[in-house]
Amino acid sequence: MNAGTPDASRPDATLVILAAGRATRYGGVKPLASVGLAGEAVLDVLASDALAAGFGRLIVVIGPETGPAIRYHVERTWPSAVPVEFASQRAPRGTVDAVLAAAPLLDASSSFGVANADDLPGEPGMALLAGHLRSGDPESAAVCYTLSDSLLGDAPVTRGLCRVDGEGMLEAVDERRRVTPLPDGRIVADDGREPKELDPGQLVSVNLWGFRPELRGIFEDAMAQASGDGEVLLPDVVDRLLTARRRGAPGALAVHVLRAPGRCIGVTHPGDVPLVSAELAREVARGDRPAQLWTAVSARS
């Protein structure tokens, strides 16, 4: 069977949505930022796109600070037919710990997807991931976008630059900070590293992953080795595993790169909210997305 071809005999793909961040830079609950045509939240748009893309089950990881508001919003506004469950991340120890918080709700023998709750990869990119998970492909996957298609506005962000080999496998993830588009079209990273100017066509990770079930044990080991209450991030752990693969170490990680069409937009700063709203409106006007959310839920009902 070709990778990315869904197998009807397999269970619906599960997406773990990471919504436990404290959003200290944003100053609010980012997943609940109002961006849709009818005022829908980022999380609403993401979940609706995920179901339309082929995911059949959602697990939303929430934290103690913003979790009650997120859960209240979901329970009050989402259609009752949406297949959603909640997992609690007790302390802000990073995205690896957030994935592990969802582990008790995951099928121990099935791969699963992971997405940020404040990013909108869009239905096409998420469909690539859902297809990969349902195809039975034994390897993990990363949905990647070009750097220019992952930026919105001119405020600095962090991006994971991806190095891909000739067979379409991920070789490394290099996190660059303070990535900023300039008025002249150039994109620079003002993090004191070289090269400062980045290639707009460079593929980047947007934390949209498909992980095989064995990764949970590796994530547990990474958390056990972490010092104190420090955060452990998915790109860092993935990059260490990729380094082990290049060195031929046993148990290393192989990751297919799924090149997504379109854009991945999200909310990092308060000023991003009107920009995301405007981009979603343009996508609706072009016919790239439906004006109404939850069309996949309505079709199943």
Domains in the chain, ordered, with CATH? 13-300 (3.90.550.10)
Token code pair at residue 93: 């120890």
Q: Which helix (H) or strand (E) holds 72?
A: helix 67-77
> What pLDDT is recorded for position 69?
95
> What pLDDT is recorded for position 60?
98
What is the rounded average pLDDT for all residues in the chain? 91
pLDDT digit string, tens, across residues 118-143: 999 999 999 999 999 999 888 999 99
pLDDT over 70 at 10, yes or no: no
Average pLDDT over residues 14-36: 87
Q: Which residue is it, tokens 């080991």? A: 221
pTM of this structure: 0.93
Question: Is there a contact between 255 and 239 (Cβ–Cβ < 8 Å)?
Answer: no
pLDDT over 90 at 54, yes or no: yes
Pairing of strands 119-120, 203-211: unpaired
φ, ψ (nearest 5 deg) of residue 82: -70, 125
> What pLDDT is recorded for position 251?
61
pLDDT over 60 at 7, yes or no: no
Q: Of 4-18, 79-93, 110-124, 210-224, which gets the smallest average pLDDT? A: 4-18
Average pLDDT over residues 233-259: 85
Q: Which helix (H) or strand (E) holds 189?
A: strand 187-189
> What pLDDT is recorded for position 29?
92
CA angle 63, 273, 150 (to 5 degrees): 85
For residue 195, is the peptide bond before it cis, meaning its omega torsion is within 30 degrees of 0? Answer: yes
Q: Which residue is it, tokens 């750097």? A: 147
pLDDT over 50 at 194, yes or no: yes
pLDDT digit string, tens, across residues 160-175: 999 999 999 999 999 9
> What pLDDT is recorded for position 9?
42
What confidence category does residue 1 fall into, taking pLDDT thresholds of 50, 70 and 90?
Answer: very low
Q: Which residue is it, tokens 């920009």? A: 275
> What pLDDT is recorded for position 3?
43
Percent of the chain scored above 90 by pLDDT?
78
